[in-house]
A and B are shown apart, each in its own frame.
Chain A
Amino acid sequence: MRTLKGLLLAFSMLCVLADAGFTGELKGSIQIKGSDTMVNLAQAWAEVFCEKNPGVNLAVTGGGSGTGIAALISGTADIVISSRTMKEKEINKARENGIQPNEIKTALDGLAVVAHPANPVSKITIDELSDIFTGKIKNWKEVGGMNLRIVILSREVNSGTHVYFKEHVLRKGNEKSVEEFSPAALLMPSSQAIADEISQNANAIGYYGMGYISSKQKVIAVAKDKNSPYLEPVLVNVQNNSYPIARPLLIYTKGKPQGIVKAFVDFVLSEEGQEIVRKTDFVPVH
């Protein structure tokens, strides 16, 4: 009897071990760090990925694209989420530390230009936007609105969204341009902070990723120039590249992804991962 019990016990333990061997194929931990725009998306990916791979430990941290890229350079993050491409200088720095940054496009994001719902302005050109955010246009009536002073809301300099907006709207993609945000611009700590301020300030104009759009803000249609169509940041316009201020959402890995990092990247690019992109109000890459 005792031997039988012993045998049963041994057998059941073997089952447990074998079981662990099968389900726990993937083990280890991944540090994901960077863009505040993408941090919600990364969280959604992590939530589902961990359900499927219980052996993997994931940690998602925000701080801004700049923070994430700095972490990649110093080697303290495995995966960096970034809403802007790495600069030449940053790539060289990473290489000096023996890290070859590997860029992967995971989603697209249209930058919405938003104002208070009561604001009558519904369309605007990139030139006008550039003049507003650099402080040359100071009153809403100059772009067809009411006689109100314009209050500029922007993200702070560590934000990839800030950098992208500066390079592609203020400087209109011209690398030699030195246009800067007006010193009067209010630098907000997060996109949600801009959204909250816009919803209660009739003078304000701001910008953020299309995931933050809600009924409390009015989205202004944007055109490349006076002769182009005015478009809103919606899925179709971003995916077919017609919306003028759309950007790729990237992840960077150290070299070609391997092991659990590869598993995560594959998941992100899989149909399920891209469905999560859609659900968090960004635009899938395919």
Chain B
Amino acid sequence: MTTLWAATLGTSLVAFLLKYSGHSVPERWLSHPKIQRINAFIPIALLSALVAVQSFSQKTQLMIDQRLVGLCVAIAALLLKAPFPVVVLSAAVSSAAVYNWL
């Protein structure tokens, strides 16, 4: 099985097991304040790391290219409270402009 298929099916299986387990275990198991706090922090950590790695790397090499422009435009859009589609679209358009014309 290829990496892509393993990732597709493995992610799906674990995702469902996690969802189903929540519906099946007693509430007190997962309602501990420390668990709640870690649960709030994990997405912040992983998503921030993903923003950084996807913006500045190619495999294991660091690089700065048109994606930096897209990232800056996305941050500006978020600071201006733009909705999600506008954030993504403005990042894509500015990055494409730099890639095609510079």
The yes or no verdict on A and B being binding partners is no
Give B contacts to A, CB under 8 Å.
none
